[in-house]
Structure 1
Amino acid sequence: MQHLTPLSFLLASLFTICTGAGDWCYQSQFTCEHQCNGPVKWDHANAQCSGRSQSPINIVTKKTALDERLTPFQFGDYQHNFKSIIKNNGHSVSVSVPHLATIAAGNLATQYKAVQFHLHWGENGGPGSEHTVDGEQFPMELHIVHMKKDFTDLGKALGDPEGVAVLGFFYEESSSANKKYEPIINALKVIKTTGSNTSLSQISLEQLIPSEQSLTNYYRYKGSLTTPGCHEAVVWTVFEKPIPLSKTQLKAFSELQFQDGKPMTGTFRPVQPLNGRTVYRSGGAVLVASAALLMASVTMALGLPQYN
């Protein structure tokens, strides 16, 4: 669990001493010289940021409720290769996705189509995910944003309480580089300054995430966008299985720059109060393991031979 360090306490104090103004920003950007609306004052930038169903959250696994309706997802055209533009938008890096890729099942109300993906990270591979699990913060988090199939505009989808579905994936540090991420890592070198962009060579959503077979364990709750305007219109799915990236690959994101030229680090919103919401978990491997144990028990009870 990441505790409040003296430095983070000092930064938090600055928000109280200095009066935030102007556009919204992350805590890492705020100083008395560069005043902006940090996370604790995002409601000054947009009133919805003070709502009662905000994201991200800390997922307390012991308090999650098993929901057998959370079946494996159906991923449509996630393997489709596409070309796009990757952009440094001043808060993160984002990539638009053709609406060919879709998700369904997993107790979603309808089919959703992909719109874009973006990432949140810390500093040089340090803690930087938005969601946390039992207080643990991962180095980075991927958000793949989808909207209901009947919408043609994300803005309109945000007017529907379940208009948007976001898949969240954690990252973990690995001893070797993840070659599937090389197109993105290479592109970061070209888009260091805010507003810059470059063409992204052919890539698929499938190559960015763990294999479909390992995506049966996930958490589900109703929440919001994690940046202003903080619309409470998101069906969140946060997967347990992390994505491996090397230390060098993780650090590459910290070489990007905010608009003022400072390193783009700490691009995550602090976790928000749950306010009575229930976080659900899928059955996934738990059910598979239980079935295997039951079969083993029956076999032993009947005195049948066991085969490995």
Structure 2
Amino acid sequence: MFYSIFSLTVSDFTLSLVNLACEWCYQSQFSCQDPCRGENIHTKWKSHFPNCGGQRQSPINIVTRKVKHDPKLTSFIFDGHEKVFNMSVENHGHSAHFTLPPFVRLRGGGLPATYKAVQFHLHWGENGGQGSEHSVDGERYPMELHIVHINEKYASLGDALNDSTGVAALAFFFECTATHKRKYILVNFKLTDLIPEASKLSYYRYLGSLTTPHCDQAVVWTVFKKTLPISKNQLLFGTEKPMTGIFRPVQNLNGRVVTVYTSVPAHSLCVLPNLITLFLCLFCVFGQQRCFH
């Protein structure tokens, strides 16, 4: 079934199945080799990647009664989100990265510069359970989307990581809704099919790090209040695959302050056709490589 479905999306998603050598892994993964394999893997990261033991680590638990309003935070401006493009997806062994074109840009939101998009990826749990990296008042969601941008003056993510605010990451939570009918239709991809209008988004802001090794402390994090809907049928695309439980536990704030920007109320969102296409793509990349034979 998935061969015929995915064949419709080849012109939209250029697949690159790149399984990189394991340097680290999540607690839930057992296919990696030492030194990353074993119990309490996440606590061992800092032994091999010193930044992972730093004072500005991500993700965090956001305690809403302690956040502070920051008048310098403003509404975002999303550039290029309405444009159609092709993208590739790489299986990194511990996550999938969807490449984004540099015309997708981010400005406003109290950021010090304009940032250009690099990639987006997802973190999720097992069997539809808790899988987000960030949490709000201790509540975690089934899945979290990260859209990674770098300051436009840098040529690569590696260059941007040398700047304490060189990376801007947008985080969206997914929340399970009622089961929806599956409808697989080929449509060109654009980011407006995934996330709502910028002016309708309230968010939390703090300074943190990458949530994967080398855990570079160079990220301006924006965690949006508005959740994106997903049915349990869509979320369970990975329950029989090794690619589950791919999230890092929350880290200590270590004195950091989380600030908040509140927008005008947004209308409720609906499940979007391209979101279903995205999950079908992930289904084929992780554990269903017969789709490409």
Distance 1:177 1:79, change over 3 A: farther
Describe the shift of the 1:125–1:108 C-alpha distance in structure 2 as closer, same or farther (beyond 3 A): same
> Between Structure 1 and Structure 2, whose CA radius of gyration is higher?
1
Verify: 1:265 aligned to 2:265, yes or no: no
Quick check: 2:179–2:233 contact (8 Å CA) kept in 1?
no
Q: Does 1:224 align with 2:209?
A: yes
User: CA 1:246–1:276 in structure 2 vs 1: closer, same or farther (change >3 Å)?
Assistant: same
Cα distance in structure 2, aligned partners of 1:118 and 1:178: 25
The answer to whether 1:253 aligns with 2:238 is yes
Report if aligned partners of 1:164, 1:233 keep a CA contact under 8 Å in 2. yes
The alignment's C-alpha RMSD in Å is 2.3
TM-fit CA distance, 1:203 = 1.0
Q: Which residue of the other structure, out of 121, 124, 127, is the alignment partner of 2:127?
A: 124
Aligned partners of 1:79 and 1:204 also within 8 Å: yes
Q: Is the 8 A contact 2:175 2:229 kept in 1?
A: yes
* Distance in 2 of aligned mates of 1:152 and 1:177: 41
Aligned residues: 241
Instruction: State the Cα distance separating 1:177 from its structure 2 match.
Output: 3.8
1:162 aligns with 2:141: no
Tell me what 2:44 maps to. 41
Quick check: 2:127–2:236 contact (8 Å CA) kept in 1? yes
* TM-score normalised according to structure 2 size: 0.77
Identity %: 51
Counterpart of 1:166, as a letter, is: A
Q: Secondary structure at the match of 1:29?
A: coil
Distance 1:265 1:34, change over 3 A: farther
Q: Check the 8 A contact 1:92/1:267 in 2, yes or no.
A: yes
The residue number in structure 2 matching 1:202 is 188
Alpha-carbon spacing, 1:172–1:278, altered in 2? closer, same or farther (3 Å) = same
Task: Check conservation: 1:124, 1:252, Cα contact below 8 A.
Answer: no
Q: Choose from 68, 85, 96 the match for 1:82.
A: 85
**Secondary structure of 1:230's match?**
coil
- Scaled by the length of structure 1, the TM-score of the pair is 0.73
Q: Which runs of 5+ in 2 are unaligned?
A: 1-21, 266-293
Q: Give per-residue Cα distances to partners, 1:116-170, cap 9 Å, x unaligned.
A: 0000000121100000000001000000000001111110000000000000000
Consecutive unaligned residues in structure 1, runs of 5 or more? 1-21, 187-200, 257-262, 287-308
Residues in 2 aligned to 1:86 and 1:32: alpha-carbon distance in whole angstroms: 21
CA contact (8 A) 2:200 2:263 kept: no
Offset, 1:109 = 0.2
One-letter amino acid of the counterpart of residue 283, structure 1:
T
1:211 aligns with 2:197: yes
Structure with greater helix percent: 1
Residues 178 and 246, structure 1, Cα contact 8 Å, conserved in 2: no
Equivalent AA in structure 1 for residue 246 of structure 2: T
Letter in 2 for 1:117: F
